[in-house]
Structure 1
Amino acid sequence: MELRQLKYFLKAKELLNFTQAAKHLYITQSTLSQQIKQLEQELNMPLFDRIGKRISLTEAGEQFAQYAQKSVDAAQEGLLLLNDLNTMNTGELKIGLTWGLKSLVLTSMKAFAAAYPKVKLTVTFGTTTELIVALNKQEIDFALTFFEGDHEDNLVYEPLMLSKMALIVSKHSSLASRKQITWAEVASLRLALPVKGFSTRNFLDRQFELHNIHPEIAVEVNHTSTVIDLVRVNAFKTILTLATVHGESGVCAIDIADCDMDREAVIITLKDCYQKRAVKIFIDLLLSEDKDLYNEL
């Protein structure tokens, strides 16, 4: 059963004349008759009584017309919805975000919301692993996270920026005036870090092993904002990217000497999957940001 057959049937029902209906539909009468006949064969029931050149609806035709009209109306509403989605007059944009990059999306979210106020923005925070799972389940439209692991074949990883990791201390810390610190000094500090399983923690554990240091990890927290709060009150020190602490008050960053600890932030999308216009526009906003700003406190 095809949508055009339903439209043909409804026009014939309206005019009760195949010749006139065909003219209105800009098709030949034979085409109209053939399509309606095929529809009747599929339904295994006549929709019209044909008496000479006159036609009238059968009881089945009267009943079927209600559902045919609903189907045509629903299809038209669907087309209007798709048009609205394309013109950004409706819809939802679902963003998957690691907490460490929250500051990076704020300007883009503000600009997007101002330009497309009828598109709902939904932000889901999670670890890199959680975000990739959600993306594969199509629970989010794209993920924005730090990533250094192996790439999955079904995903596209678009580099967004590099952010340097540094020792983060309270402005009231005795170390606050320092511009640089060594790994040996870091090893003597009491640190608050994200729990194991977070990509930041996994990255740091590899750095600790690489530089053969065993710092005192006094606190492990499953929320990065709490780590920063503990540092702000001068209870502990931590190591995070500059992007993560961008805009945070009461803390300062100290460069760790003789190491390369840049982390790459990436935009992850599903490969070979239709990307709605809202996704493309938001990603373009992210890419156009001045990334240097986010490597400063």
Structure 2
Amino acid sequence: MTSGSSFEPCPLCVMPDIFAIRRIALRKGLILIELRHLKYFLMVSKELHFTKAAEKLGISQPTLSHQIKLLEQELGAPLFNRIGKKIELTKVGEIVQAEALNIQGSIQNISSQIEAFTKVKIGELKVAVLPGEMTDLISTLCIQFNQLYPDIKVFVQSTDQVEKAVLENQADFGIGFHSSQNGLMQVIKLYNEEFYLISNRKHGSESISFSALLDKPLVLFPRIHQCRKILDKTSDGMGKQIEPIVETSSIESILNLVRSGIGCSIVSRTLFDFYDTEDLFFQRIENPYLNRNVYLTMKKNAFVNFATRSFIKLFVREIEKLKFNIGKDSIAALNNLL
């Protein structure tokens, strides 16, 4: 349900069974009003005839009269003037009628919005994701998602503050590389990915040591990129410094520069598998082995709407197609979530 939508309360002739929840009551000061009493009252105020109202409600006339009396006792004022067989609303009855219609409209609005969130394929979805290949992966999935659910608007926020975006309700869920220690957050590890050294020529060995790749001409992301931060931290721990010949935040530019032979690059498996890299070759990095976890993050006990469930399922299917290994614990956690 978009924020610009509005709700028109139903007229008196429309009496949906929204008051069937008998044990929910509304308090206003010292007044306790059961919703079923409002349902009965609205039907009588429409028909202005107890017998006809009772027939439409499917209860006996004495039962209806008793329930209206209970409501009048709670309010401390009569709701109807009884003139022979005819009745009319009192001034208090007119006030109660107006407010009862407002309550009816509010409950219907709540019901409509919950149905839209849980069942109906409309509304909006906000996703927070770290910049780089994960943003590109999520954004590309939006094309497929839009084909399946054209009435759901998707907003992808590329940010280094994924957890903050989720906590502040700027996003329904987030995809990032850090496991939150915040007790308000629910975090599910999706998969673990390794890093590759990629080049335009095939090498004899399947792996290369981290120290050896530092001597190669490198085309890398800028220092603010999450992938680059991992590389810089690793090299700093070895007392060395990475000095790339080219820095660019464009994934396509990195791949094209590697194709042209300008240099090699260090990329995540997500990037290598997701993009058209069949003409490129990779070596696994070891000593130390470079890898990172990918996490799904959302607020603990948050309501998971239809759009969120559907997009996460689509995302999980995509990473399964890329043959990432999702652990049994993660699958169980996702099943409980979805």
TM exceeding 0.5: yes
* One-letter amino acid of the counterpart of residue 33, structure 1: K
Task: Give CA deviations for 1:134-190 in whole Å, capped at 9, x if unaligned.
Answer: 10112211111223x553222222222222112345x4xxxx433544333332345
2:110 aligns with 78
Aligned equivalent of 2:189: 159
Q: Give runs of aligned pairs for residues 55-94 of structure 1, distance below 5 A.
A: 55-62=87-94, 65-94=97-126
Identify the residue that residue 165 of structure 2 maps to in structure 1. Answer: 134
The answer for the alignment partner of 2:291 in structure 1 is 262
Indicate conservation of the 8 Å contact 1:141/1:269, yes or no: yes
8 Å contact kept, 1:242–1:253: no
Residue 271 of structure 1: aligned partner: 300
1:30 to 45, 55, 66: 66
Amino acid at match of 1:239: I
The structure-2 alpha-carbon separation of the partners of 1:146 and 1:228, relative to structure 1 and needing over 3 Å to count, comes to farther
Contact 2:208 2:285 in 1 (8 A): yes
Correspondent of 1:232 among 256, 269, 274: 256
The TM-score, its normalising length taken from structure 1, stands at 0.76
SS in 2 for 1:265: strand
CA contact (8 A) 2:128 2:159 kept: yes
Contact 1:231–1:237 under 8 Å retained in 2 = no
Structure 2: give runs of 5+ residues left out of the alignment: 1-25, 27-32, 325-338
SS of aligned partner of 1:113: helix
What percentage of residue pairs aligned between the two structures are identical?
23
133-142 vs 95-104, greater mean Cα deviation: 95-104
Q: Counterpart of 2:120 in 1: which secondary structure?
A: coil
Choose the corresponding residue for 1:243, options 246, 270, 294.
Answer: 270
* AA matched with 1:157: V
Name 2:234's counterpart in structure 1: 207
RMSD: 3.3
Structure 1 residue aligned with 2:213: 186
**Structure 2 residue identity aligned to 1:119:** I
* Aligned with residue 146 of structure 1, among 172, 177, 201: 177
Gap regions ≥5 residues in structure 1 = none
Q: Distance in 1 between matches of 2:180 and 2:102?
A: 49
Q: Is the 8 A contact 2:121 2:307 kept in 1?
A: no
Cα gap change, 1:210/1:63 in structure 2, threshold over 3 Å: closer, same or farther?
Answer: same
Instruction: Work out whether residues 117 and 123 of structure 2, in 8 Å CA contact, stay in contact via their aligned partners in 1.
Output: yes
**1:113 paired to 2:146:** yes
2:202 matches 1:177: yes
Aligned residues: 279
Greater relative CO (CA pairs within 8 A, separation 6+): 1
Shift of 1:122: 2.1
How much does 1:199 deviate? 3.5
- 1:287 equivalenced with 2:316 (yes/no): yes
Q: Indicate how the Cα distance of structure 1 residues 136 and 104 shifts in structure 2: closer, same or farther if over 3 A, else same.
A: same
1:269, distance to aligned residue in structure 2 (A)? 1.8
Hey, what's the Cα distance between the residues in 1 that align with 2:152 and 2:321?
A: 29
- Structure 2 residue identity aligned to 1:193: F
1:21 and 2:35 matched: no
Checking the alignment, whether the CA contact within 8 Å between 1:88 and 1:116 is kept in structure 2 is: no
| CA distances 1:3-52 after superposition (whole Å, capped 9, x unpaired) | 444322221111223454344334522123212442x44xxx65432446
Indicate the SS of the match to 1:75.
Answer: helix
TM-score by length of 2: 0.68
